[in-house]
Amino acid sequence: MADHSISRESFLKGATVGAAALSASFPAFVPSRGEAADVLKVGQIAELTGVYVDISQPEVYGAALALEHWNKKGGVMGRKVEVVVEDDQNDPGVAVQKVRKLINQDKVSAVFGTVNSAIALSASGAANSLGALYMVTGGHTDPVTSTQCHWDVFRTCHTAWQETQATGLSIAKKFGKKWYLITPDYAFGHSLASGYEAVIKKLGGQIVANDLTPLGTSDFSTYITKIGPAKPDVIIVLLAGADFVNFLKQANSYGLLKKFPVAGPQAELEPFLSLPPESRVGYWGVEWYYNSDLVYGKKNTQAANFVKEYRAKHGTPPSARSAFGYVTLDRMLWAMNEVKTADPVKVARKLENAHFETIWDGGAYYRGTDHQLMWPNFFVEMRPNGTPADKNDIFNVIDRQPADKISKSAAEQAQVCNLKYPS
């Protein structure tokens, strides 16, 4: 199958050209943050380099489509909108510097973005220290909307807890209660492992091993050779991006995928499309899928139009990452337009508990208690070669778990998250 990934060089060139085009068409942005006369600037941080580049690119592309839609209908508060994209280099320290640059030098009204969970934490802390709105697109680690929550921080993707609760029971029912975890050794992986530990404890099962792997591991042979002797019922893979691809390719070359079933909390469309069909196996959690008839059980016109436009621009269907970028920027700009100001307190208050549809269904909302997006999670089985009508349609949705069933309650979250709005 053709490789659908985009080279780093092409991506960076495209991002630079897009930014230049926006800047050339709009007057200079000189007033203080949030009070632009002609142009409203918002900032985006993304992993334009590093292990997560292939799943970060779609977040940028999804946001770019939301930007295009808003500017076509007249912008926000009558102002054209510009997105300034910065490479966080998959480094929490660099991300903090980029957030400060965007707010202090570029005078953006708000910031959004990131795939890396450690960056989601550092960037949200930096934005909070400056009193700026920050919306996490794709960093799943639980503390973002629990123990390290902030009044000005919102999250679009699911929490690690939600993902594990949505998939853990299904995995145990299908394969058994003896699990072997392959875990990325940083905030995201640790949150996922904790969630699965909670599930298996309830079920009276066992995690026979939890191998912590460094981010950016290229050779997984040391871990793969340990799995067979442990005789697990299922291998649960918590990796993402290039690490996920490398693990499945190598596990297949060792014959492991024919001996043991594999499953996990999160299937990303981009990594799976880069794998050969024989490595596209398993049962996984999915946060959004472009086949809206499967996801919603009905036709979602806005989702269908989003898919059509995205495919026309990029040659591939949008993924959950594309949806994260689109929905995050769309909701941010909607709130600003509704309250007729970029004031972060007023925008944050408007976002809370406001139900919306766009490319999601009408039940989605950012919960007021912790600013976490409440949205169902799906469980899929792999369809390695797609369908006759669409070779990219590789996820077969077999289950859907509503947000309230997979989330900690508002009362539980209130015990660990105090948003502490400015007085």
DSSP H stretches of helix in 261-384:
269-273, 292-296, 301-314, 320-339, 344-351
* Cα end-to-end span (Å), the chain: 57
Return d(Cα 171, Cα 315) in angstroms, integer.
Answer: 33
Backbone angles phi, psi at 87, to 5 degrees: -80, 115
Amino acid at 204: G
Question: Nearest to residue 418, comparing CAs of 380, 370, 375, 374?
Answer: 370
Confidence check: pLDDT of 354 > 80:
yes
Poorest-confidence range of 99-113, 135-149, 222-236, 299-313?
Answer: 299-313
Q: What is the pLDDT of residues 363-420, one digit of tens each?
A: 899 999 999 999 999 999 999 999 999 999 999 998 888 999 999 999 999 999 999 9
Q: Where are the domains of the chain?
A: 8-158+298-375, 161-286+377-406
Q: Is the pTM of this model over 0.75?
A: yes
Phi-psi region of 19 (alpha: psi -120 to 50; beta: other; left: phi over 0): alpha
What per-residue confidence (pLDDT) applies to 404?
93
Q: Regarding the domain with residue range 161-286+377-406, which homologous superfamily does it belong to in the CATH classification?
A: Response regulator (3.40.50.2300)
CATH code of 8-158+298-375, in short, is 3.40.50.2300
The residue among 178 and 296 whose pLDDT is bigger is: 178
4 pLDDT tier (thresholds 50, 70, 90): very low
Is 161-286+377-406 the same fold as 8-158+298-375?
Answer: yes
- Find all residues with CB under 8 Å of 373, minimum gap 6, and list them: 154, 155, 156, 157, 158, 327, 364, 365, 366, 367
What per-residue confidence (pLDDT) applies to 357?
87
Token pair of 317 as six digits:
């269907």
Residue 149 · residue 419 · CB < 8 Å: yes
Question: Nearest to residue 284, comparing CAs of 403, 188, 380, 399?
Answer: 380
- Find all residues with CB under 8 Å of 105, minimum gap 6, and list them: none
Q: What is the pLDDT of residues 198-247, one digit of tens each?
A: 999 999 999 999 999 999 999 999 999 999 999 999 999 999 999 999 99
What per-residue confidence (pLDDT) applies to 313?
97
Three-state DSSP class for residue 401: strand
The alpha carbon of 156 is separated from its chain's Cα centroid by a whole number of angstroms, namely 7
Amino acid at 269: L
Burial of 201 (0-12, 13-18, 19+ CB in 10 A): exposed
- CA-angle at 148, arms to 144 and 154, nearest 5°: 40
Question: Nearest to residue 238, comparing CAs of 206, 197, 201, 294?
Answer: 197
What per-residue confidence (pLDDT) applies to 194?
96
* Beta bridge pairs of residue 365: 374
Poorest-confidence range of 28-42, 72-86, 259-273, 352-366?
Answer: 28-42
**Cα distances (Å, whole numbers) of residue 118 to 79, 99, 121, 152, 368:** 34, 14, 5, 18, 23
What per-residue confidence (pLDDT) applies to 301?
85
Poorest-confidence range of 15-19, 201-205, 291-295, 356-360?
Answer: 15-19
Residue 166 · residue 377 · CB < 8 Å: yes
Q: Averaged over 291-306, what is the pLDDT? A: 75
The alpha carbon of 177 is separated from its chain's Cα centroid by a whole number of angstroms, namely 28
Q: Averaged over 186-201, what is the pLDDT? A: 95
Three-state DSSP class for residue 209: strand
